[in-house]
Amino acid sequence: MILDLITLALIICIFSFLFKDNPFFKFTERLLVGVSAGYGFLIIIRDGFLAKFVDPLRTGDLSVIIPGLLGLMFVFTLFRRTAFLAKYPLAFLLGTGAGMEIGPRIETSIIKQISAMGSHVSGPVEIINRTVLFISALSSLYYFLFAVRKNTKFDRFFAGTGIVFMMIAFGATFGYTVMSRISLLIDIIDSVVLRFF
């Protein structure tokens, strides 16, 4: 019951911002930031440092020393003279991260979509759907050409078509998300009403 009351008080504090900025809202906001930062720190120590570095070392796995040393190099940023050493693990992260992301991203965002476009269609509805999909994909892709586009009538029309299709998609996403946010609000109000009234 006490926990429920605290929850209710914090919800009211957050909603008080709708009236105007006030100390109760600020307190709740800072409480949320502080709790999450503290929790995050503990999780990193437990699931990162202890589980992935200390425990393997205890079991004799020396392969963790290299990533451990790379991680340790970040500490040098605290000192002005040795701060440059942090650039090396950062460069390693940037290189591996970009390399690992680009391949799968091309496959999921481009190749799979192109392959799906080639699946057989039958019936007038499917043909219309596929044609709309094709024109929207092609015109949207055309909009994102930067160096080869010319300011001609065709260019403006085709890139404009791409923008129109994108805006329709964005509008649909916006409406859908607003609906889900309102359902979240209803859920919170519902839980408060059920608990206390």
Partner 1 sequence: MKRAFRKNDTFIPEKILKAPAALLLILTASSSSAAEGAEHVLAHTETLPYFLMLLASFFILQTIRIKKIKIREIPAVRAMEEAVGRSTEMGKPVLFITGLKPIPAVSAIAAVNILGEVASVCASYNTPIVSPHSNSFTMLAAQEEIREAFQKKNNFELINSSRIFFVTDSQFPFAASVNSITNELKPSAIFYMGTFYAESLILTEYGQSQGAVQIAGTDSVAQMPFFITSCDYLLLGEEFFTASAIIKNDEKELRTIAALDAAKIVTMVLLVYSFARSFL
Q: Is the dihedral of CA 49, 52, 57, 59 positive or negative?
A: positive
Q: Which of residues 70-109 bind partner 1 (CB under 8 A)?
A: 74, 77, 86-87, 90, 93-94, 96-98, 100-107
Q: Is the CB of 61 or the CB of 183 nearer to partner 1?
A: 183
Size of the site for partner 1 (CB under 8 A): 61
* Cα(63)–Cα(115) distance, integer angstroms: 41
User: Does residue 33 touch partner 1 according to CB under 8 A?
Assistant: yes
Q: Is 152 left (phi over 0), alpha (psi -120 to 50) or beta?
A: beta
Q: Which of 16, 138, 158, 161 binds partner 1 (CB under 8 A)?
A: 138
Q: First and final CA of the chain: distance in angstroms? A: 13
Q: Helix, strand or coil for residue 89? A: helix
- Is 11 in contact with 24 (CB distance < 8 Å)? no
User: Does residue 46 touch partner 1 according to CB under 8 A?
Assistant: no
Burial of 162 (C-beta count, 10 Å sphere; 0-12/13-18/19+): buried
Q: Is the CB of 67 or the CB of 97 nearer to partner 1?
A: 97
Structure token pair of residue 115: 């392959």
Residue 85 CB, shortest distance to partner 1, in Å, is 11
Site residues for partner 1 per CB under 8 A: 21, 26, 29-30, 32-33, 35-37, 39-40, 74, 77, 86-87, 90, 93-94, 96-98, 100-107, 110-112, 114-115, 117-121, 127, 130, 134, 137-138, 141-142, 144-150, 152, 154, 166, 170-171, 173-174, 177
